[in-house]
Amino acid sequence: METVTIFGIRAILEAIQSGKSIDRVWLLKGTQSKLFEQLLHVLRSNNIAFSFVPVERLNRFSEKNHQGAVARIAALATQEMEPLIETILEKKKNPIFVLLDGITDTRNFGAILRSAAATGVDALFIASTGSAPLNGDVVKTSAGGAFKVPIAKVQHLKDVVFYLKAHDIPTMGITEKATATIYESDLKSPVALVFGSEDVGISKGLLKTLSDTAKLPMTEAIASLNVSVACGVVFYEIIRQRI
């Protein structure tokens, strides 16, 4: 079984609450906090194997801020594109789909998942190559969002665009090359948003297949926003329009 190492008390609690298969948990000796006590209670209640270890042992897993807790879990699961879309369309009237093109930074990916979970994004699609790995850094940064937003891996994001178009779901690329801003766009209906990497943006081939484009207005002092920040701004504009 492929496994992923995750770091941090909250990330481990989220993994357990989401029904992830926990292989083992390592805890720092002498840690004292209400959150740590909560984790201990949850581990014991769910009969999850854990052990107390010195900080040197935890640092072997990673020098990142592990908060005195490290866990080994089953790797983040991905879903098949077609059944995922079909299931969502059956349940939701105005779903939000997100496609990430070339987002390779795990912290950005985790932050996007966190915002997506907070704003009710229904599914996220990534390409099987040229995307951030679904590892512990993603889980940690997502603050549990990695377990709450379904993720589908596909060979080509164009396949997702064409499949959504066949179901009359408009696709919108968020790019500084657009003429209209996101605030001029109608986001009350079903929509699929496409975000590209900060350095390259949405690939030209994918951009050509999209129904529409929109941009975030910015002063001339800066060329682009961090992609996770851009995602958060757009997600909350959807919330604002739909309230």
Q: Which residues pair with 152 in a beta bridge?
A: 79, 125
Phi, psi of 191 (to 5 degrees): -155, 150
Give the end of a domain, one of 74, 101, 119. Answer: 74
64, 74, 101, 112, 217 from 57: Cα distances, Å: 13, 21, 37, 31, 48
* Same structural domain, 108 and 190: yes
Q: Are 11 and 143 in contact (CB under 8 A)?
A: yes
Residue pLDDT, tens place only, 85-119: 999 999 999 999 999 999 999 999 999 999 999 99
How high is the pLDDT of residue 1?
52
pTM of the model: 0.83
* Same structural domain, 116 and 145: yes
Residue pLDDT, tens place only, 118-166: 999 999 999 988 899 888 889 888 988 889 999 999 999 999 999 999 9
Residue 31 vs residue 208, higher pLDDT: 208
Q: Are 172 and 98 in contact (CB under 8 A)?
A: no
How high is the pLDDT of residue 81?
97
Residue pLDDT, tens place only, 152-210: 999 999 999 999 999 999 999 999 989 999 999 999 999 999 999 878 899 999 999 99
Residue pLDDT, tens place only, 213-224: 999 998 877 767
Q: Are 29 and 52 in contact (CB under 8 A)?
A: yes
Give the end of a domain, one of 52, 74, 96. Answer: 74
- Among 57-61, 171-175, 230-234, 237-241, the least confident range: 57-61
- Strands 96-101 and 69-74 come out as unpaired
How high is the pLDDT of residue 53?
92
Q: Output the domain CATH number for residue 34.
A: 3.30.1330.30
* Same structural domain, 131 and 226: yes
> Number of structural domains, the chain?
2
Q: Are 139 and 69 in contact (CB under 8 A)?
A: no
Q: Model confidence at 62, in pLDDT bands (50, 70, 90)? A: low
Phi, psi of 50 (to 5 degrees): -150, 160
Q: Are 206 and 194 in contact (CB under 8 A)?
A: yes
Give the end of a domain, one of 74, 95, 117. Answer: 74
Tokens 């989401």 identify what position? 18
The whole domain housing 211 covers 81-242
